[in-house]
Every structure is written in C-alpha cells, then in structure tokens.
Amino acid sequence: MAGVHVDSACPPWPRRRRQVAADVRQSRRGRELSTRWPVPCPGTAIAGSLNGCLIWCRGVGRRDVGKARGELATASRIRDAAISRFAREGFGAGLRAIAADAGLIVHHFGSKDGLRRACDEQVLTVMREQKAKTLTAGTGTTLLAQLAEVEQYAPIVRYLLRSMQAGGELAATLIEHMIADAEEYLSTSESAGVIKPSREPAARARYLAYQATGSMVLWFTLHGADAAPDQFAALFRRYIDDLTLPALELFTEGLLVDRSMLDEYLMYVPDPPAAPGADTAAP
C-alpha cells in the first residue's frame, strides 16, 4: 500500500543507506529520481515539498507521483490544525488531539518536533509577507487594511507567543529566523525610501524583534494566556488598538528632542559605526 512520509530535516536515510542507494541508482528509475539525498528504497519517488521538506511517496511508480501530491494539502491541513491547537493549549498538546482537529493522521511529519518545525515555517511565512507588505508600501491604506483584519492573525500570534514562553532550541531558532526576516524586509523598505537607514541594520532588526515580541509576551502572560480563542482575538484587537498610535508616533516623529544623547554615546563607544550614507573615504 502506498504511503507518504515527510522528512522534515532531509537527512541521508540512515538504514541500509549505501546499499539501497547503490541498488536504486543502478535502475532506470533510480537514475531518473536521483537527488541530493539518496532515495530510501526502490519504488520511492519525490511527490513534492512542504515548507522546504521533501515528501517521499513510497511504493508507487513515477506515473502515480502526481496523485500523491494531493497529500501536500493533507499535510497543510494538519499543520494549520497544529498551529491552532498549540496556540490554545501550548506545546504539551498531544498528536492525537491535533489529528482529531484535522480529521487526519499526523504521521506525515515523522515526529512532534517535525510537525512543530512545519508550524514555525508557516508562522514565519505569514509574518514575513505581512510585514514586508506594510513596510514596502509605506501607505496608510495598506496599514488600515491590515488593521481591519487583525483578528484573523490571532492564532498565528498566539502560537508565536506560546513558543516564546516555552523557550528551548525551537523557540531560539524561531526568533533568529524572525530577526533575519526583519533585517531583510527592513533593507527592502530602505531601498523603497519608506524607512531611514541605520548605522547597524542587523542590530536594529534584532532590537525591533526583541521589543515587539517581548512586549507581546508580557501582555500575553498578564492578560491572554488563558483566554478562549474568540476572547483572545478580541483581546488582541484591543492590544493593537491601544498601541498603534503611540508606536506610529514614536517611529515617525521620534522621542528625543535632540541628538545629544546619541552623540555622547558615540563618543563613548570605541570604534563607533559610521552614520548611514556617510563618506568614510580618507580626504
């Protein structure tokens, strides 16, 4: 019977890898399906990918691979159900509960960590797309459109906050990916003339990511951790409404009346970074 397995880390297949790879590559099918990673067994094909993970379809020929691609939709349903369940209950939620939510079996991801990595990637994708849209367009219309739909992002935000509270390697990896994404879309926004350049773009991206997630984790711990899903969406709406004006004012008009504190700090710091756009060439 055909089955599907998602290899979330895409490692070389550990069991009988060399023998199997040699046998498969001797066949015509093996040559046609040769990839960076050895296929795990004869009659195995790549059906597609989900969030960068290879989807191996076992026991089917190449003509049947197209049918197996429908399993990608199944994996997406499981991932989305897991995001909602983890957001509500934290990462102690069991795989059986997630399977019940999705009406499916969760063997596609190999393990709970594999499923969580797929959830992390989806959360990052949504955040990256929405942040880039706002900061690249730089218009009030785009911002207001996103504010009008803020409740639909409540499960994504709650999942992120649960991850930050849980800590550990997966949370650390998630925040580092968030910072890397922030640096990328801030750079794009600089090029688009929407935001000002920075002396230290990477440090600025890290500060903004820490500031945003830290304030939300504090708010979540005090007010939203035990809320029902619909209550959390309403609380998240209130949080956004309360902070949007002061955040925009601070980012647009600044806080300090002059630059004396910055100048004195730059004099104090050894080898301070040059101002953005400054001509550092020797006279």
Stretch 78-96: mean pLDDT: 86
Of residues 276 and 254, which shows the higher confidence score? 254
pLDDT (0 to 100) of residue 271: 82
Find the mean pLDDT for residues 84-91: 87
* Model confidence at 48: pLDDT above 50: no
Cα 136–141–142 angle (5° rounding)?
A: 40
- pLDDT higher at 106 or 220: 220
Is pTM beyond 0.75? Reply is no
Q: What is the pLDDT of residues 54-64, one digit of tens each?
A: 444 444 444 45
Q: Is the predicted pLDDT of residue 25 greater than 70, yes or no?
A: no
Q: Which residue has the higher pLDDT, 226 or 35?
A: 226
Q: What is the model's pLDDT at position 283? A: 44
Specify the CATH superfamily of domain 112-268: Tetracycline Repressor, domain 2 (1.10.357.10)
Query: How does DSSP classify residue 3?
Result: E
CA distance 141 to 242: 19
pLDDT on residue 278: 64
Domain borders along the chain are 112-268
Looking at every residue in the chain, the average pLDDT score rounds to 75
**Separation between Cα atoms, residue 106 and residue 97, nearest integer Å:** 10
